[in-house]
């Protein structure tokens, strides 16, 4: 599969190009790139064949058609537009199994797992349901209306689990998700369809509380010992998911592999596949990292912060990260900005976070962890005013070339040799450093 990112040496000058954001930049003199670090992106597989194979041999659960016999009402939990899951391709074979088991179309509905994101728009609902939009009921989850929630229990860590009432009252519950690294839950997919996907706001807030996010094991690519993952998994068990379909997709959103069956078994198999496919080593001498979120995380600044957290395993004190993104919907999170009213003193910001924490302050907390480590940031976006980046303790730049020049000069002023590593879409990668 042709990548959207390229780095070429043209007559002795390096040039970087991004076909998603439609930007390019000449690498300034004195900053020779170490390389473009990206995993090989294969072409998508035969999606119908992948899905049929997964459904024919489910892991840790009976075939869906057997599970569905005698059931009256089936809820399928699906992801919202920020996750770009190939749901429209997955729904026909899933619903075919349900219909063959004896359910009628009016007995099957979708719940869009928005968590605390905005509701999916009408156009997005059409994209999610695809050709079945007119045959299936489809509902946005509402995490804030108590009448639309139902309690299902309390986890060992004290999380009171309230979930979408429609899903809770169905007698067959399915989930369709995508597995890739998550900045503090380890991986997406599986249990995340329940928490945060269809959980109440208070449930999400308790699971995402500062001490959980700050835990050293709450990092991308880690499940064992990760307190957030373990709490999410327990919440999903309390609700009960009868059947899950976990997809691994390439950067263009085309399915590479599909794993169906039990909540934990299908997720574990997808994670193992992902780690084999997207593990990547980056030259440890890189002290300037150029990055971008890629689609669909480039929708807004809240989502576009995720490259910082994907890079976290390889960032060192003194490193500079250059982030660029289209952010066509702007910031999309007042809560993320709020703690930085108390800057630039990081201690004051952290104290505010601990005392006034809200769900979408998670990225504020994770970013402050990097700043405390001694990482500096430069940001480029046509949709975000420079004063917003300055408030977030980033240096705004008008262009990629200007950002690269500033980063080079910062490293020279610190007495370091500027070394550039280009790592596009790091939230998709499992990153490790390796010696030069």
Q: What is the pLDDT of residues 78-121, one digit of tens each?
A: 998 777 899 999 999 999 999 999 999 999 999 999 998 889 89
Domains and CATH numbers, the chain: 5-30+284-434 (3.90.226.30), 47-276 (3.40.50.11440)
Region 141-149: what's the mean pLDDT?
Answer: 97
CB atoms within 10 A of CB 387: 9
Could you report the per-residue pLDDT of 229-286, keeping only the tens digit for each? 999 999 999 999 999 999 999 988 899 999 999 999 999 999 999 999 999 999 999 9
Residue 360's pLDDT is what?
Answer: 86
* Residue 204 token pair: 């999400």
User: In this structure, are residues 140 and 166 in contact, taking their beta carbons and an 8 Å threshold?
Assistant: no
pLDDT tens figures, 286-327: 999 999 999 889 999 999 999 999 999 899 999 999 999 999
Per-residue pLDDT tens digits for 394-436? 999 999 999 999 999 999 999 999 999 999 999 889 998 877 5
Is 80 exceeded by the pLDDT of residue 330?
A: yes
Instruction: Using alpha carbons, select from 297, 233, 245, 229 the residue that is nearest to residue 78.
Output: 245
User: Quick check: 252 and 381 in contact, CB under 8 A?
Assistant: no
Q: How far from 244 is each of 50, 71, 85, 103, 182, CA to CA, in Å?
A: 15, 17, 14, 18, 19
Handedness of CA 180, 371, 391, 385 (dihedral sign): negative
pTM recorded for the entire structure: 0.85
pLDDT surpassing 90 at residue 332: yes
Dist. CA 221–CA 72, nearest whole Å: 38
Arithmetic mean of pLDDT over the chain:
95
Residue 436 confidence (pLDDT): 59
* Residue 107, helix vs strand vs coil: helix
Looking at the predicted structure, is the pLDDT value of residue 1 above 70?
A: no
Choose among 58, 123, 138, 57: nearest CA to 91.
Answer: 138
Write down the pLDDT at residue 41: 85
Q: Give all strands of the β-sheet with 74-79 in edge-to-edge order.
A: 137-140, 108-113, 74-79, 172-178, 243-249, 255-261
Cβ pair 319, 325 in contact under 8 A = no
- As a whole number, mean pLDDT of residues 331-343 equals 93
CA separation (Å) from 222 to 179, 243, 245, 431?
A: 13, 23, 21, 12
pLDDT at res. 214 = 85
Contact 16, 1 (CB under 8 A): no
358 pLDDT band (50/70/90 cuts)?
confident
């Amino acid at each position: 599969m042709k990548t959207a990112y390229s780095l070429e040496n043209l007559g002795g000058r390096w040039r970087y190009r991004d076909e998603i954001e439609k930007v390019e930049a000449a690498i300034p003199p004195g900053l020779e790139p170490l390389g473009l670090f990206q995993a090989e992106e294969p072409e998508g597989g035969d999606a119908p064949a992948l899905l049929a194979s997964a459904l024919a041999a489910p892991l840790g659960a009976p075939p869906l058609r057997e599970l569905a016999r005698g059931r009256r009402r089936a809820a399928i939990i699906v992801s919202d537009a920020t996750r770009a899951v190939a749901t429209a391709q997955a729904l026909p074979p899933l619903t075919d199994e349900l219909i063959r088991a004896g359910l009628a179309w009016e007995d099957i509905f979708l719940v869009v797992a928005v968590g605390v994101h905005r509701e999916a728009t009408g156009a997005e609902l059409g994209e999610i349901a695809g050709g079945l939009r007119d045959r299936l009921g489809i509902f946005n989850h509402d995490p804030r209306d108590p009448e639309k929630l139902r309690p299902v229990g309390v986890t060992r860590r004290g999380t009171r689990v309230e979930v979408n009432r429609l899903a809770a009252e169905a007698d067959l519950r399915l989930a369709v998700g995508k597995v890739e690294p998550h900045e503090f839950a380890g991986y997406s997919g599986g249990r995340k369809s329940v928490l945060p996907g269809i959980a109440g706001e208070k449930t999400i807030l308790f699971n995402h509380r500062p001490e959980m996010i700050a835990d050293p094991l709450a990092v991308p690519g880690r499940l064992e010992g990760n307190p957030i993952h373990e709490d999410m998994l327990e919440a999903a068990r309390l609700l009960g998911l009868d059947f899950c379909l976990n997809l691994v997709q390439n950067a263009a959103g085309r399915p590479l592999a599909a794993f169906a069956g039990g909540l934990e078994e299908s997720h574990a198999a997808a994670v193992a596949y992902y780690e084999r496919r997207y593990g990547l080593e980056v030259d440890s001498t890189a002290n300037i990292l150029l990055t971008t979120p890629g689609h669909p995380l480039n929708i807004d600044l809240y989502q576009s912060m995720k490259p910082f957290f994907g890079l976290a395993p390889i960032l060192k004190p003194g490193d500079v990260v250059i982030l660029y993104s289209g952010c066509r919907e702007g910031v999309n999170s007042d809560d993320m900005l709020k703690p930085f009213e108390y800057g630039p003193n990081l201690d004051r910001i952290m104290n505010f976070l601990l005392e006034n924490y809200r769900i979408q302050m998670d990225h504020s907390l994770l970013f402050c962890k990097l700043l405390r480590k001694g990482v500096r940031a430069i940001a480029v976006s046509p949709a975000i005013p420079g004063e917003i980046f300055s408030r977030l303790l980033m240096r705004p730049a008008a262009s990629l070339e200007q950002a690269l020049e500033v980063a080079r000069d910062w490293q020279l002023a610190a007495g370091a040799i500027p070394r550039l590593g280009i790592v596009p879409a790091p939230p998709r990668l499992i990153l490790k450093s390796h010696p030069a």
